[in-house]
Copies of this chain bind each other. A is one copy, B any other.
Amino acid sequence: MKWKTGITRVERDLIQVRGYDISDLIRKYSFGGACFLLFTGRVPTNEQGRMMDALLVSNIDHSLLSPSTAATRIAASGGTPLQAAVASGLLAVGSHHGGSVEETAHLFYEAVGRARREDMDIKLIAIRLLKDSKNNKRRIPGFGHSLHQHDPRVDGVLNLADELKISGDYVVFAREIERNSELHFGKHLQMNPDGAIAAVAMEMGFDWRMVRGFFIISRSAGLVAHAFEEYTRERPHRSFDLSEIEYDGPKNLKS
């Protein structure tokens, strides 16, 4: 069986990513820019390269509040090597952590696509989503955060997107949801980083199914830093202690 791939061509003394020599990429592009090329096959403009870096930087770490980081710290304390500690953390990514950006990107993709096909106003589409969600008691992904009210990553990402002239329909749509939420959804919805990143990723032409990957790449850096801190600062075999665990099952049975 042949394993076909259109990503990287490797022959003796030749490595080309999407057709471009690796030595050119090393010289010319930031890691964000190279990721843009790797994922889209298109050479990034300066603006696209900078924006991609910003998306990756925004999720680089969120301390042990993040399940992925907690898992990595605990795994590292078991004495597992770096790749395993990082993988342990990445595996905490899922529908409730890091995966929501995918759901958000999908929502934005469908909504803006529909607005374009039906030549409708973006604001009206946003309001319709708010009303429908209210009626069906559905939450809207990309808004709200358990800790932050004004998450600094949101303005960080969106202001740069504005400045680099990357903001377009998707960013407008996300902002219209926020702006009209009180009136049409019945409570204020504050955009979170998933919302901001999803909107900008859609502006840049990414497939919505790939956006979860940004979180994975980005967070792997934070996980490396946390595993290293665990190895070098802490005693081994850390987990929960007896006082943090409450057993509420049956006791003292006889078989």
Contact = CB atoms under 8 A, between A and B. Distances in A.
A175 B228 CA distance: 29
Contact of A74 (B56, B92, B146, B150): B92
Nearest to A213: B224
Oligomeric state, in copies: 4
Contacts of A151: 13, 15
Taking residues whose C-beta sits less than 8 angstroms from the other chain, chain A's interface range is 35 or more
A34 B57 contact: yes
B92 A78 contact: yes
Interface in A194-253: 207, 209-210, 212-213, 216-218, 220-222, 224-229, 231-234, 236-242, 244-253
Nearest to A4: B246
14 contacts: A3-B73, A6-B249, A13-B152, A18-B253, A19-B252, A21-B152, A26-B153, A31-B221, A79-B94, A82-B213, A82-B216, A83-B84, A87-B90, A87-B91
